[in-house]
Every structure is written in structure tokens, then in C-alpha cells.
Amino acid sequence: MASPSGMEKRKRNEPRSPFIVHGSSPIASLEGSSGEYQMIWQIDLIFLAFVLICALASILVKDLLSSAIIFGAYSFFMCLLWAEMGAVDVAFTEASVGAGVSTIFFIVAILKTTRRSKD
């Protein structure tokens, strides 16, 4: 009797990541020797670079509205990073709270304030 492949070892109710190709692929196999799916570290590194760029840009920019929008992009890239790492629940929370609600609150608060003149 042949040993079960990595796909047969995986439980039926185990969640699937949208960033990983499941099944047999002629291009490359993403399964490790233990049957678990491997993270693609190049994608993690790219997302991390975008996160760092957005964090620095959000701090260094002089306009508050631009800073709030860049902060929303930072939260979006963090959401992608969490999803790629397999923490889908954290990614969903980051997308809804960080990139969604917080960014909208920041933008509305900035637009409702008035600028003081230097008179």
C-alpha cells in the first residue's frame, strides 16, 4: 500500500490560503517534506519592504491628509502580510479596522478641522 501524499494527509476542514496554489502543479510544488505548505519568503520580503516604506513616508510627510492615506496603505500591506503568513483572522481584522474604519475616521477628522493662519 502506497503512503498518502501531502494532499491526502491534510484534513478536509483545514482552511486554504488564497495566496498558495493547492494541488499538484507542473511548475513547482509548494509542499514541504512533512506535507505542510511552505510560505514564500520572497513575497513576505516584498510586503515587508512596502510596510517599511509606508511607515517612513507616513511619518516624514508634512500634510496630515497624505499621512492618513499613507497610513491606510500601511494597514493594507499589513493585511496582505498577515494573509500570506496564514493568519487570515488577523488579516481580516487589520483590513476592516486598520485600513477601513481608522483611515476613514482620520480623513473625516482632518477634513472637519480648519487650519489656523499664522497672523
The per-residue pLDDT for range 52-111, each reduced to its tens digit, is 999 999 999 999 999 999 999 999 999 999 998 889 999 999 999 988 999 999 999 999
* 118 part of a folded domain: no
State how far the Cα of 33 lies from the Cα of 101, in Å rounded to an integer: 42
Of residues 74 and 117, more confidence is placed in: 74
Query: Could you list the residue range(s) of the whole structural domain that residue 7 is in?
Result: 1-38
* 100 part of a folded domain: yes
Number of domains, the chain:
2
Cβ atoms 72, 88 nearer than 8 A: no
* 18 part of a folded domain: yes
State how far the Cα of 104 lies from the Cα of 110, in Å rounded to an integer: 10
Query: Does residue 55 sit in the same domain as residue 70?
Result: yes
Query: Does residue 7 sit in the same domain as residue 62?
Result: no
* 108 part of a folded domain: yes
* 119 part of a folded domain: no
End-to-end CA separation in angstroms for the chain: 87
Q: In terms of pTM, does the model score above 0.85?
A: no
